Amino acid sequence: MLGKVAVVGAGMTRFHHSLHKNKNGRELFVEAVLEAYSSVDKGIDPSEIGAVFTGYFAPTFFEHQAHVGPLAADWVNLTPKMGWRTESACASASAAFITGYMAVASGLRDVVIVGGIEKMSNLTTEEVTDALSVAADNEYELPAGVTFPGQFATMANAYFKRYNVTWEQLQAIPIKNHRNGALNPKAQFQETIMDRAVKVGKKLGVKFKDELDFLKSEYNRVIAWPLRLFDCSPISDGASAAILVRGELAKKYTDTPVYVSGVGFATDSLSLHDRQTYTSFKSTMEASKQAYRQANVKPKDVDVAEVHDCFSIAEAIATEDLGFFKKGEGVKAAQKGITSIKGDKPINPSGGLKCKGHPVGATGIAMVYEIWKQLRGESGKRQVENAETGLIQNLGGSGASCGVIILRR
Amino acid sequence: MLGKVAVVGAGMTRFHHSLHKNKNGRELFVEAVLEAYSSVDKGIDPSEIGAVFTGYFAPTFFEHQAHVGPLAADWVNLTPKMGWRTESACASASAAFITGYMAVASGLRDVVIVGGIEKMSNLTTEEVTDALSVAADNEYELPAGVTFPGQFATMANAYFKRYNVTWEQLQAIPIKNHRNGALNPKAQFQETIMDRAVKVGKKLGVKFKDELDFLKSEYNRVIAWPLRLFDCSPISDGASAAILVRGELAKKYTDTPVYVSGVGFATDSLSLHDRQTYTSFKSTMEASKQAYRQANVKPKDVDVAEVHDCFSIAEAIATEDLGFFKKGEGVKAAQKGITSIKGDKPINPSGGLKCKGHPVGATGIAMVYEIWKQLRGESGKRQVENAETGLIQNLGGSGASCGVIILRR
């Protein structure tokens, strides 16, 4: 019964911590949607759009604003069309994407916009940490002082111990993601970690001999042991958007449609203490199982993936949960270059959350943006060769929710 | 392409301002889901459920909690199933309902739970007013001191002037809704306004000769002129749930399925200053147009409706926007008894938001609960005779969003 759905356009703002200071969330959304419109090869008339679904994690804290669904629709001049906000912490945008997917696959709508927003820079770092913490369990975790760096640090420690991996080895992931993100004009930090090491070294009068030398220095301070600054994605402002249409209509908009071949979304306990393991996400495994089954795709068929590296350890775990590598092999794969753009299984060619930035509610559809570009061969210097099948994995909170979307050329 | 969808179960907590003080939102949701399970005539095994979508307007303010999708799924033991939170102010639950509807109508899932939660009593009245205000536009309306009673008071004044209607005439709506709600064991106030007048009169040593005499007294204080206390829905805690299944499977669960024949959801500007009129909701008109068209139903075919009387004036306007009465005739219809349970067009037999209570994110699916019961003939003393087609209209904020759902026996 499921109708075929295609992505025919996508857009995103640059992600940044300060560039968008004077814009609010709705204005960022307008920028993303305008790029999505202009990316439709044969053009699109906004009057054809039947709904607008918008992910936004914590607008109440960041902008003292809720009811963002109609607000977003209004600012792109699409009222009175259907639309509301989806929220599932950092997976808010993949929830919006799947909402739009279902609207089209069901036949209720022919053309929809899905998007995501987060405008975080209005708050101080401490306030952001508090705002983000509501994605954890307020009854059990927050009273114990839990923050997200602490939760992922716990996972890192468990992972290191279980698989005999060191923090130094883990650094292959942020090093690779910064190398990729340096090639991405939408990325928050458009520099490699070596670029940064040289800049910082000049200021301090120190010469770092390589990236690891810099990452081991005091400059890369501990955030939550063993995770340091460069293990953590930054605070970012940004928005993203994608245009989904009924498969039969795709060729009206483009000769290069990208099809949604499978979607999955899964849940788990918010509290870490209720999980059976800290070295794997049940939500990722289940969501990917749903998406792989629907798409009739196996992990080995995936040519390129954007995964949720909110912290470096999360990328390692994600690439294992998605079935790309055996448990405990994710860090080693990055070390060996397998996950580099020219490797066998390129992961986060965009630079990932670490380098591209992580405006929480915008991230899932920014991942879609990257994969859409990759499958169309429009990724310039960071292009993965002959990518035909791409996957996005978008984790919520400490893994209590996860969206997985498989796109095919 | 749209698959048929049936409602085979529904549940809700009692709505109340103090009864649930010691429970949190997740516990209220469990109560609603357990009643929904037990309402399935032939039983249901929770393992059959494929997703849980949960509306909740402002959990960040009320419970310092977001990421409510997986939280709700976890507490009803349904992880790792698909699920997230929907938010569209007071229309959050109709957004959850339509999300679940699309999941089933698309064929992505066979059986889903949709629900809504709001746990408001943790805050003081002043804090609640501030929390609710984020459904208005923080850039344009809040700096001007806008609150929801003020916005609906503005609409009431515009309506009175335009249609030559008085506040005294408008009282037909809360009087009727309290008469209905007095018969509803789930209602927050299980008393008529006359019941209340007698109680208050005893305390004050006064005898009120009828409901209007009481409503005109100082006890019924002005909240935002011309609206008084009994024109406003209360602060409430509560949760609601419904079970949706693929039409072909309905008879497995019940011999009395209720089918979803049409859904609509529409948006408008958050700010009142951007609207063309204050005496009509574009979102209601558009959402109902979508739903009527899909259901192939006309306003005259609707046997019973639950509409969003967050303020008394909103019910009058809703019944006009839905096409039940001509513009300016909504109040008069209530005065003539047309909207009473035994009238030609019964509106809010549950008692409406005014008497049943209004836990914001739970309201839309509590409306579905009432209509589902009515269509199955299970509404006891407040049963509408021979109800075959029912409608719910669930407004968000001051009308920037609206969900409309048509159910048929």
Q: For each of the domains in chain A, give its residue range(s) and CATH number, in order of start.
A: 5-123+234-408 (3.40.47.10)
Across the interface, of B2, B79, B290, the residue whose CB is closest to A268 is B79
What is the structure's pLDDT at B146?
87
pLDDT over 70 percentage in chain A: 100
Nearest-by-CA chain B residue for A264: B82
What is the structure's pLDDT at B1?
57
Amino acid (one-letter) located at B217: S
Nearest-by-CA chain B residue for A246: B1
Give me A110's structure tokens: 């022919």
pLDDT over 90 percentage in chain B: 99
What is the structure's pLDDT at A226?
98
List, for residues B88-134, the tens digit of each pLDDT value.
999 999 999 999 999 999 999 999 999 999 999 999 999 999 999 99
Burial, A252: exposed, middle or buried (Cβ in 10 Å; 0-12, 13-18, 19+)? middle
Q: What is the mean pLDDT of residues A50-79?
A: 98
Residues with Cβ within 8 Å of residue A45, at least 6 apart in sequence? none
Distance from CA of A300 to the nearest CA of B (A): 24
How do strand B389-396 and strand B401-408 relate by DSSP bridges? antiparallel
Task: Write out chain B residues lying below 8 Å of A1, CB-based.
Answer: 1, 3, 106-107
List, for residues B278-329, the tens digit of each pLDDT value.
999 999 999 999 999 999 999 999 999 999 999 999 999 999 999 999 999 9
Substitution target in B5, B85, B108 with the highest count of A β-carbons within 10 Å is: B108
Distance from CA of B132 to the nearest CA of A (A): 9
Determine phi and psi for A155, rounding to 5 degrees. Answer: -65, -40
- The pLDDT confidence band at residue A396, using thresholds 50, 70 and 90, is very high
How do strand A258-267 and strand A304-306 relate by DSSP bridges? unpaired
Determine phi and psi for B401, rounding to 5 degrees. Answer: -145, 155
Cβ <8 Å between B67 and A87? yes
Task: Write out chain A residues lying below 8 Å of B123, CB-based.
Answer: none
CB atoms within 10 A of CB B166: 10
Across the interface, of B1, B270, B287, the residue whose CB is closest to A67 is B270
Nearest-by-CA chain B residue for A284: B80
Residue A155 CA to residue A316 CA, distance in Å, equals 11
Distance from CA of A403 to the nearest CA of B (A): 9
Cβ <8 Å between A80 and B282? yes
The verdict on pTM exceeding 0.90 is yes
pLDDT at position A229 over 90: yes
pLDDT at position A3 over 90: no
pLDDT at position A207 over 60: yes
Q: What is the mean pLDDT of residues B261-282?
A: 97
Substitution target in A54, A61, A67 with the highest count of B β-carbons within 10 Å is: A67
Cβ <8 Å between B65 and A108? no
For residues A402 and A91, the answer to whether their CB atoms sit within 8 Å is: yes
What is the structure's pLDDT at B142?
92
Residue B311 CA to residue B305 CA, distance in Å, equals 17
pLDDT over 70 percentage in chain B: 100
Residue A136 CA to residue A140 CA, distance in Å, equals 9
Cβ <8 Å between B69 and A82? no
Q: What is the mean pLDDT of residues A256-265?
A: 97
Distance from CA of B208 to the nearest CA of A (A): 42
Check residues A146 and A21 and name the one with the higher pLDDT: A21
Q: What is the mean pLDDT of residues B32-42?
A: 98
Residue B382 CA to residue B275 CA, distance in Å, equals 37
Cβ <8 Å between A66 and B134? yes
- The pLDDT confidence band at residue A1, using thresholds 50, 70 and 90, is low
HEC string for B99-129:
HHHHHHHCCCCCEEEEEEEEECCCCCHHHHH
Q: What is the mean pLDDT of residues B364-378?
A: 98
Burial, B64: exposed, middle or buried (Cβ in 10 Å; 0-12, 13-18, 19+)? middle
Across the interface, of A69, A268, A287, the residue whose CB is closest to B267 is A69
Substitution target in A146, A267, A395, A406 with the highest count of B β-carbons within 10 Å is: A267
Q: What is the mean pLDDT of residues A15-32?
A: 97
Nearest-by-CA chain B residue for A140: B65
- The pLDDT confidence band at residue B59, using thresholds 50, 70 and 90, is very high
Cβ <8 Å between B66 and A78? no
Q: Minimal CA–CA distance to A241: which of A7, A2, A11?
A: A11
Across the interface, of B67, B74, B86, the residue whose CB is closest to A135 is B67
What is the structure's pLDDT at B393?
98
Query: Which residues of B carry out catalysis?
Result: 90, 358
ipTM: 0.98
Helix (H) / strand (E) containing B202:
helix B193-204
Cβ <8 Å between B80 and A286? yes
pLDDT at position A178 over 60: yes
What is the structure's pLDDT at B33?
98
For residues A249 and A110, the answer to whether their CB atoms sit within 8 Å is: yes
- Bridge partner residues of B260 (DSSP): B407
Q: Minimal CA–CA distance to B304: which of B262, B340, B264?
A: B340
- The pLDDT confidence band at residue B180, using thresholds 50, 70 and 90, is very high
Query: Which residues of A carry out catalysis?
Result: 90, 358
E runs forming strands in A14-75 = 51-56
pLDDT at position B153 over 90: yes
Q: Minimal CA–CA distance to B119: which of B404, B309, B361, B316?
A: B361
- Write down the mean pLDDT value for chain A: 97
pLDDT at position B343 over 90: yes
pLDDT at position B365 over 90: yes
Task: Write out chain B residues lying below 8 Å of A70, CB-based.
Answer: 88, 267-270, 283, 396-397, 400-401
